[in-house]
Amino acid sequence: MDDTLVPGAWVRHPGQPDWGLGQVQSAIRERVTVNFEHAGKVLINTQVVGLRVVDPDEA
Protein backbone atom coordinates (compact mmCIF):
# COMPACT_ATOMS: atom_id res chain seq x y z
CA MET A 1 0.00 0.00 0.00
CA ASP A 2 1.14 3.53 -0.80
CA ASP A 3 1.40 5.48 2.48
CA THR A 4 0.83 8.78 0.64
CA LEU A 5 -2.70 7.77 -0.42
CA VAL A 6 -4.50 8.96 2.68
CA PRO A 7 -7.85 10.73 3.00
CA GLY A 8 -7.44 14.35 1.94
CA ALA A 9 -4.52 13.70 -0.43
CA TRP A 10 -4.84 15.14 -3.95
CA VAL A 11 -4.23 12.82 -6.88
CA ARG A 12 -4.43 12.43 -10.63
CA HIS A 13 -5.28 9.27 -12.56
CA PRO A 14 -2.49 8.82 -15.14
CA GLY A 15 -4.76 7.09 -17.64
CA GLN A 16 -7.67 9.54 -17.29
CA PRO A 17 -6.30 13.11 -17.32
CA ASP A 18 -9.75 14.43 -18.31
CA TRP A 19 -11.08 13.38 -14.89
CA GLY A 20 -9.15 16.31 -13.41
CA LEU A 21 -7.87 16.63 -9.88
CA GLY A 22 -9.15 14.12 -7.35
CA GLN A 23 -9.21 14.02 -3.57
CA VAL A 24 -8.85 10.73 -1.71
CA GLN A 25 -11.97 10.04 0.36
CA SER A 26 -10.91 6.70 1.85
CA ALA A 27 -8.09 4.20 1.53
CA ILE A 28 -8.43 0.61 2.71
CA ARG A 29 -5.45 -1.46 1.59
CA GLU A 30 -5.41 -1.33 -2.23
CA ARG A 31 -8.97 0.07 -2.49
CA VAL A 32 -8.95 3.86 -2.70
CA THR A 33 -12.07 5.98 -3.21
CA VAL A 34 -11.34 9.25 -4.98
CA ASN A 35 -13.69 12.15 -5.73
CA PHE A 36 -12.58 13.54 -9.13
CA GLU A 37 -13.58 16.99 -10.45
CA HIS A 38 -15.09 15.68 -13.68
CA ALA A 39 -15.81 12.00 -12.92
CA GLY A 40 -17.23 12.04 -9.39
CA LYS A 41 -16.46 9.28 -6.89
CA VAL A 42 -14.45 6.40 -8.30
CA LEU A 43 -13.18 3.28 -6.54
CA ILE A 44 -9.58 2.60 -7.64
CA ASN A 45 -7.61 -0.60 -7.16
CA THR A 46 -4.06 0.67 -6.68
CA GLN A 47 -2.65 -2.72 -7.67
CA VAL A 48 -4.01 -1.97 -11.15
CA VAL A 49 -3.76 1.85 -11.35
CA GLY A 50 -0.89 3.91 -9.97
CA LEU A 51 -2.45 7.16 -8.79
CA ARG A 52 -0.08 10.12 -8.79
CA VAL A 53 -0.13 12.28 -5.63
CA VAL A 54 0.03 15.98 -6.55
CA ASP A 55 0.18 19.39 -4.91
CA PRO A 56 -3.20 20.99 -5.73
CA ASP A 57 -1.57 24.43 -5.94
CA GLU A 58 0.73 23.21 -8.72
CA ALA A 59 -1.77 20.95 -10.50
22-50 burial code (b ≥16 CB/10 A, e <16): bebeebeeeebbbebeeeeebebeeeebe
Type of residue found at 20: G
For 31-44, how does the pLDDT look when each residue is reduced to its tens digit (9 = 90+)?
A: 999 999 999 999 99
Does residue 6 register a pLDDT over 70? yes
What residue segments make up the domains of the chain, in order of their start?
A: 1-46
Does residue 1 register a pLDDT over 70? no
